[in-house]
């Protein structure tokens, strides 16, 4: 409760804070006027009380005009000492608040000038009142302490503002980073879903179109075509179910499955052969295991290239080559189709864009264009497999 009240006071309008402080000082200066007094002391008159109130009143504007408030307080205090003989105060509350405010808000030059003015006023007041070293030292101490507290508070406020500003900057940076990460993840998921769905649907369409012809001419091939459609659909559904399960973050145990890699390429190629396309698969160089992310990229790129061949190329033959080098892996998918606009993914889709993005993610490049001799279409990637060696 105390912390909550303090937080409310700290966040309140500064004008209300100053008004509350003025009333608090007024209450403190009122005490000598209301407590029982020794008959031998100066009487507590209404004139003295009104002049005391006049000395406290400028504190309402202490933030807006600290120097003017300090001079007003000192003028009213001097008039109280010289013109009236009212009850004394244990401490010059209003003057201490004015000095504290100057130390808190004013520039170094203003603080230096006001320090000189206050020192002169202190010496003059002591000279008129008691002329004792005790009072002089006490006055210098309490006003010096007020100034030091003001500077400490100014330092604390500056530090707090710097910390809050830094926290705000970090929050903005984190928010931007989170948004960028979300955008990258959306792009990745879009690529994965595009590859899975586009490939599966293309194969199923080709098989479905060939089914009626096979039923009339070769019933045994029709059964194989329908089996291929079912198998392709089940595989696509399994992969989609895995991706959607990962997206359901509210579920405690979303299904997980490894990404397809190079080892799954023969199964992919076999499904494409089922569409009637001749597929040649070759691997050269020293075949070795690669990082899972890199293998998944190879699988998806070959899948996308084959999907484009099935959908657009009108090819009869396609070759898939994996060439293992010491520091890179070259992947080439070349068909003997019609090539040119509308083939190989040129029909305004996102296939080739996704291929280039996947290659760039592994520090590689992707080249797409006409095949050898200008016939067919070629998709070729060069992927870095040993980044630590390349950097030497």
Residue 145: inside a domain: no
Q: What is the pLDDT of residue 350?
A: 59
Q: What is the pLDDT of residue 156?
A: 92
Q: What is the pLDDT of residue 207?
A: 65
Per-residue pLDDT, averaged over 99-118, amounts to 92
Which of 131, 163, 191 is the last residue before a domain boundary? 131
Residue 40: inside a domain: yes
Q: What is the pLDDT of residue 339?
A: 67
Which of 83, 112, 131 is the last residue before a domain boundary? 131
Domain span including residue 30? 2-131
Does 252 have pLDDT greater than 70?
no
Q: Is 363 left (phi over 0), alpha (psi -120 to 50) or beta?
A: left
Which of 131, 166, 182 is the last residue before a domain boundary? 131
Residue 251: inside a domain: no
Helices (H), the chain: 2-11, 14-34, 46-56, 66-83, 93-105, 108-129, 133-217, 219-247, 265-273, 292-308, 351-361, 387-390
* pLDDT tens digit sequence for 19-68: 888 899 888 888 888 887 767 766 777 888 888 888 889 999 998 999 99
Number of independent structural domains in the chain? 2
Interatomic CA distance for residues 205 and 189, integer angstroms:
24
Does 9 have pLDDT greater than 80?
no
Q: What is the pLDDT of residue 331?
A: 93
Residue 238: inside a domain: no
* pLDDT tens digit sequence for 150-181: 999 999 999 999 999 999 999 999 999 988 88
CATH number, position 375? 3.30.565.10
- In this structure, of 154-163, 239-248, 375-384, the range with the lowest mean pLDDT score is 239-248
Q: Is 94 strand, coil or helix?
A: helix
* pLDDT tens digit sequence for 253-296: 444 455 788 988 898 888 888 777 889 999 998 888 888 888 88
Residue 154: inside a domain: no
Does 313 have pLDDT greater than 60?
yes
Residue 194: inside a domain: no
Residue 227: inside a domain: no
Residue 189: inside a domain: no
């Amino acid at each position: 409760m105390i912390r909550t009240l303090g937080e409310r006071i700290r966040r309140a309008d500064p004008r209300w804070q100053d008004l509350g402080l003025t009333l608090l000082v007024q209450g403190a200066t009122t005490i000598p006027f209301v407590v029982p007094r020794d008959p031998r002391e100066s009487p507590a008159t209404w004139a003295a009380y009104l002049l005391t109130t006049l000395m406290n009143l400028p504190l309402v504007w202490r933030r807006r005009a600290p120097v003017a408030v300090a001079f007003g307080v000192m003028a009213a205090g001097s008039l109280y000492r010289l013109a009236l003989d009212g009850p004394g105060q244990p401490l010059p509350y209003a003057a201490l608040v004015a000095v504290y405010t100057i130390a808190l808000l004013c520039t170094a030059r203003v603080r230096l000038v006001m320090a000189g003015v206050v020192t002169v006023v202190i010496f003059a007041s002591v000279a008129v009142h008691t002329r004792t070293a005790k009072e002089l030292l006490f006055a210098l101490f309490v006003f010096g302490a007020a100034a030091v507290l003001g500077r400490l508070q100014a330092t604390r406020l500056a530090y707090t503002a710097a910390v809050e500003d830094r926290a705000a900057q970090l929050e903005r940076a984190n928010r931007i980073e989170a948004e960028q990460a979300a955008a990258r993840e959306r792009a990745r998921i879009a690529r994965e879903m595009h590859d899975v769905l586009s490939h599966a649907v293309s194969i199923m369409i080709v098989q479905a179109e060939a089914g009626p012809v096979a039923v009339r001419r070769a019933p045994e091939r029709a059964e194989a075509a329908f089996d291929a459609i079912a198998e392709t659909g089940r595989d696509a559904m399994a992969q989609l179910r895995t991706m959607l399960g990962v997206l359901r973050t509210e579920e405690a145990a979303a299904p997980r499955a490894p990404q397809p890699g190079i080892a799954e390429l023969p199964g992919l190629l076999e499904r494409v052969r089922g569409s009637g396309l001749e597929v040649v698969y070759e691997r050269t160089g020293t075949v070795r295991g690669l990082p899972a992310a890199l293998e998944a990229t190879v699988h998806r790129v070959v899948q996308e290239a084959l999907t484009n061949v099935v959908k657009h190329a009108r090819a009869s033959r396609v070759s898939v080559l994996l060439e293992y080098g010491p520091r890179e892996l070259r992947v080439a998918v070349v068909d003997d189709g019609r090539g040119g606009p509308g083939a190989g993914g040129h029909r305004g889709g996102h296939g080739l864009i996704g291929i280039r993005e996947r290659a760039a993610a592994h520090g590689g490049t992707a080249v797409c264009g006409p095949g050898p001799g200008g016939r067919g279409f070629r998709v070729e990637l060069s992927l870095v497999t040993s980044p630590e060696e390349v950097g030497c």
